[in-house]
């Protein structure tokens, strides 16, 4: 009985060994048993994993959509407009519009706020603001690579509107457009890589805003619903001047503006030197003359406050009056005086 069972067990073992030997020659012979188990369970496991991934993806898409739905930019990258010629021209334009309707004064952008927007973004906390500051710092070498030591001059000419709601001075066409667009794209990418919600769905169109009806919403109730092109038609092709890119600021749309009317600035980078043109040289000479004149005026004031100088002045004035009085008395012809 025992021998019979033993014989059956030996036969079974021999069969197993023989089967194993025959499997070695097959292509999947070197696959680990755990791999085989995973292969046999692929349809079921992959299905579960796919469901989990789809669920996670749907949640991420929903979160992303919600985030974009609530996306309200509150910070922006600004190229400040410092050219006196440009700011003066815009103020002349604004005055011409206000003369046609004084109520529009409330819709005008203050001259201290003139700027060219490079990128808008949303920074909701102090930590995010710090990330934005870091991204701006990281942007500097990239901008300098684009400029390659050259100055980027931005000429402004003509006027237009966005939907007759926002009036702006146009950036003229020219060789300056491609590098400016490249800088804007690099800025967008740099901030997005830092996790900042930045940029807009519409394409970037550089412009210099001079008025917005949204600044005075009550105008709509009083019949002013659109910016009339006739208001600025005389400036439709006007040359406002040129601005050279030398600084980029990270500014807040909501925080209190500076005393000069410019936006609250979190951080800045200098990407070029401010140009020294004829007007800059004239301003420098005038400034030196003013300093010299102030010094002379100060010396004169100090002299006038000295007692001995004041005494001399009084003496000269008093003696001068006496001399004048005597000469006037001598000139009187008493013979012609009637009694």
Q: What is the pLDDT of residues 113-172, one digit of tens each?
A: 999 999 999 999 999 999 999 999 999 999 999 999 899 999 999 999 999 999 999 999
Q: From CA 125, how far away is CA 97, in angstroms rounded?
A: 39
Per-residue pLDDT reduced to its tens digit, 45-54: 455 566 666 6
Beta-carbon contacts of 154 under 8 Å, excluding residues fewer than 6 positions away, are: 79, 116, 171, 176, 180, 206, 242, 243, 244, 245
* C-beta separation of 152 from 245 below 8 A: yes
Both tokens of residue 116?
Answer: 């060219």
pTM: 0.61
Domains in the chain, CATH or no CATH each: 75-274 (3.90.1140.10)
Stretches where the chain sits below pLDDT 70 are 1-70, 200-202, 273-288, 290-292, 294, 320-339
Write down the residue that tokens 């979160």 correspond to: 63
Q: What is the pLDDT of residue 134?
A: 95
CA distances from 289 to 84, 137, 199, 232 (A): 20, 39, 47, 39
Dmax (CA) for the chain in angstroms is: 183
DSSP 230-295: GGSGGGTT-EEEEEEE-EEEEEESSSPPPTTSPPPEEEEEE-SPPP--HHHHHHHHHHHHHHHHHH
């Amino acid at each position: 009985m025992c021998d019979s069972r033993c014989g059956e067990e030996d036969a079974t073992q021999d069969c197993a060994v023989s089967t194993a030997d025959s499997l070695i020659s097959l292509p999947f012979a070197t696959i680990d048993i755990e791999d085989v188990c995973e292969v046999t369970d692929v349809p079921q496991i992959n299905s579960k994993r796919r469901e989990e991934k789809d669920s996670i993806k749907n949640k991420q898409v929903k979160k992303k959509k919600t985030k974009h739905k609530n996306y309200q930019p509150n910070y922006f990258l600004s190229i400040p407009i410092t050219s006196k010629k440009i700011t003066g021209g815009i103020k002349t334009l604004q005055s011409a519009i206000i003369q046609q309707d004084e109520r529009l004064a409330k819709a005008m952008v203050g001259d201290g706020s003139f700027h060219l927007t490079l990128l808008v973004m949303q920074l909701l906390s102090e930590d995010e603001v710090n990330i934005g500051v870091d991204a701006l710092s990281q942007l500097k070498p990239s901008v300098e690579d684009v400029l390659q030591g050259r100055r980027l001059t931005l000429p402004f000419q003509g006027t237009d509107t966005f939907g007759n709601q926002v009036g702006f001075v146009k950036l003229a066409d020219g060789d300056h457009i491609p590098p400016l667009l490249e800088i804007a794209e690099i800025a967008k990418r740099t901030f997005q890589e830092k996790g900042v919600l930045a940029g807009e769905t519409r394409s970037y169109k550089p412009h210099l805003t001079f008025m917005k009806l949204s600044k005075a919403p009550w105008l709509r109730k009083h019949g002013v619903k659109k910016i009339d092109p006739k208001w600025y038609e005389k400036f439709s092709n006007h040359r406002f001047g040129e601005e050279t890119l030398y600084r980029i600021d990270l500014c807040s749309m909501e925080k209190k503006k500076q005393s000069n009317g410019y936006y609250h600035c979190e951080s800045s980078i200098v990407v070029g030197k401010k140009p020294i043109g004829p007007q800059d040289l004239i301003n420098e000479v005038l400034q030196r003359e003013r300093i010299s004149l102030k010094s002379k005026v100060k010396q004169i004031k100090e002299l006038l406050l000295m007692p001995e100088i004041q005494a001399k002045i009084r003496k000269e004035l008093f003696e001068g009056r006496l001399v004048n009085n005597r000469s006037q008395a001598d000139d009187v012809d008493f013979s012609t005086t009637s009694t």
